[in-house]
């Protein structure tokens, strides 16, 4: 365990802000990343030097007061990565993910669409990074995510149209939770299919919920509901660990 990973184990998010960063820490290595997810936080790297400077200018008082955590001895570069833990946390119970009746009817005739798990993790991550602003999926973060995937802790869902990748989603698994970092749809509705398929597969492996991190009307339409951060963190600490989602190819037409 790295020094930053040990630091994350000591961070008390029980009294952290509900709607601002809960910590600043520049270490995006795989050990630090996994420790942060275990603590209930996820990263948002600054997209440029100006954003880093704005983080410091806006939040340095809260850091000085101890409301926002910062590793001892960290310099200005620590403000380049903000870590968030919203309260409440939007989550999708694995049995509550929804396609919607109209999309379900359309998919019954999509015999050419299939899904897999962990078949093209790196490609899904890269596709999620393309054209996004702010560009939070930095090369360093993507490298750490690939390392976690190689160790069986990060997973992807792929949506295929006759062998062509048309959508996907990926996230990090902690206990019975999969923290859904991002999704992408290269065809209409493909991102939604990826999330619902992930929920079903993760439920089959013993998972309880998908953490969708940021609340929005879109994630509510997928079945997200708010969960107090204290309950979310307790689930991370005490829940029975889930396994990786089953990876076999499945026809999209079977999604309910």
* Nearest by Cα to 28 from 12, 41, 16: 41
**Distance (Å, rounded) from C-alpha 235 to C-alpha 219?**
21
Q: pTM of the predicted model, to two decimals?
A: 0.93
In Å, what is the CA distance from 235 to each residue of 75, 140, 210, 230?
Answer: 33, 29, 12, 9
Query: Tens digit of pLDDT for each residue in 117-127?
Result: 999 999 999 99
Q: What angle, rounded to 10 degrees, do the helices at 30-39 and 3-10 form? A: 10
* Nearest by Cα to 207 from 181, 232, 243: 243
Q: Is the torsion defined by CA of 138, 143, 146, 151 positive or negative? A: negative
Q: Which of 11-15, 90-94, 129-133, 250-254 has the highest average model confidence (pLDDT)?
A: 90-94
- Domain residue extents for the chain: 3-84, 89-254
Query: Tens digit of pLDDT for each residue in 208-221?
Result: 999 999 999 999 99
Q: Are strands 177-185 and 209-211 parallel, antiparallel or unpaired?
A: parallel
Query: Tens digit of pLDDT for each residue in 157-204?
Result: 999 999 999 999 999 999 999 999 999 999 988 999 999 999 999 999
CATH architecture of residue range(s) 89-254: 3-Layer(aba) Sandwich (3.40)
In Å, what is the CA distance from 1 to each residue of 32, 165, 177, 203?
Answer: 9, 36, 22, 29
DSSP state of 206: T
**Distance (Å, rounded) from C-alpha 173 to C-alpha 211?**
10
* Nearest by Cα to 93 from 222, 226, 245, 210: 210
């Amino acid at each position: 365990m790295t020094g930053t990973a040990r630091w994350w184990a000591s961070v008390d998010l029980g009294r952290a802000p509900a709607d601002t960063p809960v910590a600043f820490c520049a270490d995006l290595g795989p050990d630090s990343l996994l420790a942060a997810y275990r603590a209930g936080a996820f990263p948002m790297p600054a997209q440029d030097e100006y954003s880093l400077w704005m983080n410091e200018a806006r939040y340095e008082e809260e850091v000085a007061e101890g409301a926002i955590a910062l590793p001892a001895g960290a310099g200005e570069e620590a403000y380049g990565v903000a870590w968030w833990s919203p309260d409440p946390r939007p989550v999708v119970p694995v049995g509550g993910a929804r396609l919607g009746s109209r999309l379900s009817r359309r998919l019954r005739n999509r015999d050419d669409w299939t899904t897999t798990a962990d078949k093209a993790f790196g490609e899904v991550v890269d596709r999620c990074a393309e054209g996004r602003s702010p560009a939070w999926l930095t090369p360093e973060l993507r490298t750490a995510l690939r390392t976690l995937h190689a160790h069986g802790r990060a997973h992807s869902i792929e949506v295929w149209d006759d062998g062509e990748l048309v959508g996907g989603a990926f996230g990090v698994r902690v206990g019975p939770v999969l923290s859904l970092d991002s999704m992408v749809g290269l065809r209409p509705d493909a991102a939604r299919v990826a999330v619902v398929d992930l929920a079903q597969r993760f439920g089959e492996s013993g998972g309880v919920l998908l953490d969708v991190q940021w609340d929005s009307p879109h994630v509510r339409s997928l079945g997200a509901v708010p969960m107090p951060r204290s309950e979310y963190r307790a689930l991370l600490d005490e829940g029975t660990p889930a396994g990786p989602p089953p990876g076999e190819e499945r026809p999209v037409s079977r999604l309910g």
